[in-house]
Structure 1
Amino acid sequence: MKKSLIALAVLSATSAAAFAQSNVTIYGIVDAGLVSERGGVANTTKVSSGVGAASRLGFKGTEDLGGGLSAVFVLESGIKADTGESDVAGSIANRQSYVGLKSTTAGTLTLGRQYTPYYESVRDVADPFAMGYAGTAKNLFGVAGNNTRNSNAIVYQTPVVEGFVGEVSYSVGEQAGDASAQRQIGGYVGYANGPLNVRVAYNARNNDLPASKLSTDVGHNTLIAANYDFAVVKAYAAFSKDKGTNSSALGNTSNPFGYTVAPVASKDSTVALIGLTAPVGPAGTVMASYTRKNDKEVANHDADQWAVGYSYALSKRTSTYVSYAKIHNKNGASYTVGNNAEAGTGDKAFNVGVRHSF
């Protein structure tokens, strides 16, 4: 009888441990490249981190709670591969930091610092360069600052149903005395089936600063994007309408071309993109895009970007790349050619580098 009770206790403990089994993964990217920027006040040649994809170190995990429900978390910090420093001084998990619950039938709810649905849609559906290299869509699309990711966010993503998926994000402003100040709301609806991927995304940020009694308008971004894989080539197209304060913030705000009057960001513009990727042999990929920024304000700060790149996979985890992009600024516009981690200093840039994922 005593032996039976001991065996039952051991079985019960083992079952409980299996039920609450958790899985933690350490992951990251180390990306470094040689960057040459021309056309600004001063030409620059340097070694940069995160040219193709931002260098990072992260921890992510899941715990099976039973019944199709899991706990999930991510802690992700940006690093500078060229110097070994954090990309934001004093930060621990500045890129992503969230915890939540994931259900196989009800979707996923997470809380913390996270990407905006608008940024995810440009990166995952619209941009052949996936926000990296000299050709990144960041150069002309309104994804700078809080439009990339925001803190204090509550995000819900639906499960995929017949190819359809949706996401809603609400970022609490946390401004004393004004619940709407600095608040950010966004979402997307997407459909992916076989070679077709389509997404419509929206972002709105209240720019009020109650502490300084400064009242500004709300910045709005509306995007429609699609790509279609023809096997021999994958075609991309996107259109974004950006209106209001900080709807299309300049990546480089230091007057990089030395104008007598420093340009300011447009509060009313559209961006259109067409592009492609194409496999070359078993391990190579060509990337190309044309992007046009149409400023609808009186200054008419329009810009066109042409970009081309090539990535070669040395293995499943390691690749080399080369890319070039040129922006034609009009009427005193000051858009710069950057990469995934930098805003750039000139109207053209060339980069070559190596990326390793683990």
Structure 2
Amino acid sequence: MKKTLLVLAVLGTYSVFASAQSNVTIYGVLDAGITRESGTAGSVLKLATGVQSGNRIGFKGSEDLGGGLKANFQLENGFNGDTGTIRQGGALFGRQAYVGLSGNFGAVNAGRQYNPVFITLDSIDPFGTGLTGSAGNLMASGANGDVRTNNSFTYNTPEMGGLVFNGMYGLGEVAGDASRSRYYALSVGYANGPLGIALAYDNANDATGTNTTRLMILGGTYNFGAATMHLAYETEKDNAGMNYRDWLVGLSAPVGAGSVMASYIRKSDRSGASLGTGAKQFALGYSYPLSKRTNLYTSYGRINNDAGGKWVVSDASSGGTAVTSGDSSTAITFGMRHRF
């Protein structure tokens, strides 16, 4: 009873605070559906959660400090809708947690933030790195496997004739060796009418400081009116011999009241290993809006692995069903997403 009263008191405090401060927003996503995944051990039917977009609840706001200067913050929690458990390793605000300043100079933030490579891939992928066609199934969306960077500082320029530049630096915070777990990244984007182009690079050292992962992605979109084309090229390398070249070709287009998405991704292993660990992914999806905030979706994805590949079809939240080397992976999903 005491715990219940405490929860109600906290929620009441947030409600009063949000009402009293018009520049504070509470928002979130609830996404659930049915997914059938197939791997080496067979097929499994799941109550899927966070398929198109990861489930979340967040708080963001700003304060006008005068002279065009603002203080900004964002706190975002990720959770599983089927079990209620916290995602991102159990971190309370594992999706985002930062504070910063913005003005005519741009914006500077400090905390846990999305890295530039993920932001670039997400903007180009016709599936928005969600559903069973997510480009993140084969293409790297962050060095060392994380789309977010802890202990990071970012600087984003204001828009300048369609150009925007972004930079990120992540502190390793290891005593005696600043190179361990150190991270830095840069990106540039250009948007003008139907055309959007982006280039991003990141460089991340592992916890020992001896292995460095380097990612580079170049891509863009072009809206022809009847449809939008999506293209991306990515390289992935490290000191241990990893060497991939990834290509994405995609299409998105309005069909009826909704929109269709399709993509093909080829991941090529250039490491010289006797068994290539690359793969091909084919995906098709459809989203139908019930309102401005609620939509139904369906998608199908298939990965054909090379002889040494073990890549699996997943989505915005699922890790997929494991396969042995060379086996294929498939998934089909139906669900609903609500944003508030």
After TM superposition, is the score higher than 0.5?
yes
> Where in structure 1 are there 5+ consecutive unaligned residues?
1-20, 210-214, 247-265
- Select the structure of larger CA radius of gyration: 1
1:230 aligns with 2:221: no
Matches within 5 A, 1:7-18: none
Matches within 5 A, 1:94-133: 94-103=94-103, 105-124=104-123, 126-133=124-131
Aligned to 1:313: 289
Aligned to 2:8: none
1:137 aligns with 2:112: no
Aligned to 2:174: 175
Q: Say which is worse superposed, 143-152 or 306-315, in terms of deviation.
A: 143-152
Q: Secondary structure at the match of 1:219?
A: strand
Cα RMSD of the aligned pairs, angstroms, is 1.5
- Report the AA paired with residue 293 of structure 2: R
Aligned to 1:353: 335
**Residues in 2 aligned to 1:36 and 1:229: alpha-carbon distance in whole angstroms:** 33
Deviation at 1:33, TM superposition (A): 1.3
CA contact (8 A) 1:311 1:322 kept: yes
Structure 1 pair 89/140, CA: closer, same or farther in 2 (3 Å)?
Answer: closer
Could you report, residue by residue, the CA deviation over 1:166-208 in whole angstroms, capped at 9, with x for unpaired residues? 1000000001111011001011011001100000000100114
CA contact (8 A) 1:22 1:64 kept: no
Q: Secondary structure at the match of 1:111?
A: strand
- TM-score in terms of structure 2 length: 0.88
CA contact (8 A) 1:30 1:81 kept: yes
Aligned to 1:269: 244
**Residues in 1 aligned to 2:293 and 2:186: alpha-carbon distance in whole angstroms:** 31
> Where in structure 2 are there 5+ consecutive unaligned residues?
1-20, 323-328
Q: Say which is worse superposed, 36-45 or 195-204, in terms of deviation.
A: 36-45
Deviation at 1:39, TM superposition (A): 2.7
**Residues in 1 aligned to 2:90 and 2:265: alpha-carbon distance in whole angstroms:** 36
Q: Say which is worse superposed, 308-317 or 145-154, in terms of deviation.
A: 145-154
Deviation at 1:303, TM superposition (A): 0.5
- Report the AA paired with residue 59 of structure 1: F
1:77 aligns with 2:51: no
Matches within 5 A, 1:246-265: none
**Residues in 2 aligned to 1:224 and 1:339: alpha-carbon distance in whole angstroms:** 22
**Residues in 2 aligned to 1:91 and 1:201: alpha-carbon distance in whole angstroms:** 27
Q: Secondary structure at the match of 2:286?
A: strand
- TM-score in terms of structure 1 length: 0.84
CA contact (8 A) 1:22 1:62 kept: no
- Report the AA paired with residue 335 of structure 2: G
Structure 1 pair 278/357, CA: closer, same or farther in 2 (3 Å)?
Answer: same
**Residues in 1 aligned to 2:163 and 2:179: alpha-carbon distance in whole angstroms:** 31
Matches within 5 A, 1:188-207: 188-207=187-206
- Identity fraction in percent: 42
CA contact (8 A) 2:88 2:95 kept: no
Matches within 5 A, 1:56-75: 56-75=56-75
**Residues in 2 aligned to 1:86 and 1:245: alpha-carbon distance in whole angstroms:** 34
Deviation at 1:280, TM superposition (A): 1.1
CA contact (8 A) 1:26 1:58 kept: yes
**Residues in 1 aligned to 2:72 and 2:149: alpha-carbon distance in whole angstroms:** 19
Aligned to 1:217: 211
Deviation at 1:41, TM superposition (A): 2.1
Deviation at 1:22, TM superposition (A): 6.3
Structure 1 pair 245/49, CA: closer, same or farther in 2 (3 Å)?
Answer: farther
Where does structure 1 differ by over 4 angstroms across 4 or more consecutive aligned residues?
A: none
Structure 1 pair 78/193, CA: closer, same or farther in 2 (3 Å)?
Answer: same
Structure 1 pair 90/140, CA: closer, same or farther in 2 (3 Å)?
Answer: closer
Q: 2:299 aligns with which of 323, 329, 347?
A: 323
When the two structures are aligned, how many residues end up with a matched partner?
A: 311
